[in-house]
Amino acid sequence: MSRKKIIAGNWKMNKTPSEAVELVNTLKPLVQNPDVDVVYCVPAIDIIPVKKALEGSNVHLGAENVYFEDKGAYTGEISPAMLKDAGVEYVIIGHSERRQYFAETDQTVNKKLLKLLENGFRPIVCCGETLEQREAGITMDWIRMQIKIAFHGVSAEEAKGVVIAYEPIWAIGTGKTATAAQAEEVCRGIRETIADLYGTDTAEAVRIQYGGSMNAGNCKELLAQPDIDGGLIGGAALKPDFGTIVNYNK
């Protein structure tokens, strides 16, 4: 099965609304590749101005987080309905920074995934191991557990529309990158886990991104791997280099 590549920028806590619009306009001519789905996952305050700035472009709009309730007394949180009304299509959940700094768990990731699917979004589910876990030889045990808990209650048909982002925590923002062989090994293991849960057809449909310091210099080798279907890009998504990643095949 031929899976269309997906390159998503995770802007994290960067760019004011006016700066966000400026960045969108800078990147517009650089990210035009019909072979790639391009997504900007932006801070909540930037969603509405970025949506307007993206009009007429090939770029899809994403959010960096969501809450798993429809509405209520959850000060500071954002509901699926709010994101939907603002024009968001993709939502990142379970990023290691959310887990580390905001006490997210595999169980809350599962709740968010179910709620996003219920509301017709395309979720980007993050998973990844620490350096200590890798050195202890439990990388795939850890990631299989993350995937199995996150996808609990998700149907095979629903799973096909989910994007999984493998981000080794030790490579996020550190400048360190897993080798292409290391990244492919884990992404292949993720696909095998999905196959165990749902069967080969679903596993072949699911798109798996690599994150963790993918940049203009290493993107071509990483994206050439058979089980790496894209990238979740941090720092490089805020620079013209993002266009080089999107156009890795040219």
> Shortest CA distance to 64 belongs to which of 110, 18, 16, 14?
14
Q: C-alpha 140: how far from its chain's center?
A: 19
Which residues, at least 6 apart from 222, have a Cβ–Cβ distance to it below 8 Å? 177, 180, 183, 210, 214, 228, 231
DSSP state of 153: T
Q: What is the pLDDT of residue 177?
A: 75
Which residues, at least 6 apart from 104, have a Cβ–Cβ distance to it below 8 Å? 94, 98
Look at strands 230-233 and 36-42 and give their pairing: unpaired
Superfamily of domain 5-246: Aldolase class I (3.20.20.70)
Alpha helices in 1-57 (DSSP H): 17-27, 47-53
Rounded distance, CA 93 to CA 115, Å?
11
Q: Which are the catalytic amino acids? A: 95, 167
| For the chain, domain boundaries | 5-246
Look at strands 59-63 and 5-10 and give their pairing: unpaired
Q: Are the CB atoms for 27 and 60 separated by under 8 Å?
A: no
What DSSP string runs through 67-117?
A: -SSSSSS-TT---HHHHHHTT--EEEE--HHHHHHH---HHHHHHHHHHHH
Total-model pTM: 0.96
pLDDT tens, per residue, the chain with 250 residues: 589 999 999 999 999 999 999 999 999 999 999 999 999 999 999 999 999 999 999 999 999 999 999 999 999 999 999 999 999 999 999 999 999 999 999 999 999 999 999 999 999 999 999 989 999 999 999 999 999 999 999 999 999 999 999 999 988 777 777 899 999 999 999 999 999 999 999 999 999 999 988 999 999 999 999 999 999 999 999 999 999 999 999 9
DSSP state of 16: -
Q: What is the pLDDT of residue 175?
A: 76
Q: What is the pLDDT of residue 2?
A: 86
Q: What is the pLDDT of residue 1?
A: 58
